Structure formats: C-alpha cells, structure tokens
C-alpha cells in the first residue's frame, strides 16, 4: 500500500494537539501545537548527523502541508 508523504492525525485525548505524520524516511510524528517531534526510526551516529541537517526542512514541510490542508478544508 502506498501512503502520502504526510498524514494529519488527531486524538480526543489531546484535544488541542495537531499531529502530522511523516511516512517516509526518516519517519516521525510532529505535534504542531508545541513542535514536539517523535522519531519512529532508530538512528546511528552517522544518521544523526544527516538528520540534524534535514530536521528543519522536514518540520517546515510538515507545517506547510498542514496549512495547505486546512486551506483546502476552508475552501470547501
């Protein structure tokens, strides 16, 4: 099964949280309410260096995805 690069998620146990799931490597979930990131991958030291370089861009992409999705909901 193919998944989109990003998915939106919510949960009634976290009523103010907005979660974006990044489904490609490196997989993570970000809570846009507080920018907390939970990585779904195990990393070695080499990966951590690469990850540090990519993190800012990935979080920006996740935020842009959320903004685009909300805009589409509001347009309907």
Q: Mean pLDDT across the stretch 20-47?
A: 90
pTM for this one? 0.84
Bigger pLDDT: 50 vs 40: 40
Please give the pLDDT value at position 16: 95
**Distance (Å, whole) CA 49 – CA 45:** 7
Please give the pLDDT value at position 50: 79
**Distance (Å, whole) CA 25 – CA 36:** 18
**Distance (Å, whole) CA 67 – CA 28:** 18
E-strand stretches of the chain: 6-9, 19-22, 28-31, 36-39
């Amino acid at each position: 099964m193919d998944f989109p690069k990003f998915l939106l998620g919510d949960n009634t146990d976290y009523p103010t949280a907005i979660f974006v799931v990044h489904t490609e490597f490196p997989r993570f979930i970000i809570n846009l309410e507080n920018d907390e990131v939970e990585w779904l991958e195990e990393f070695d030291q080499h990966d951590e260096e690469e990850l540090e370089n990519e993190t800012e861009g990935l979080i920006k992409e996740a935020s842009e995805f959320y903004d685009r999705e909300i805009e589409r909901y509001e347009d309907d």
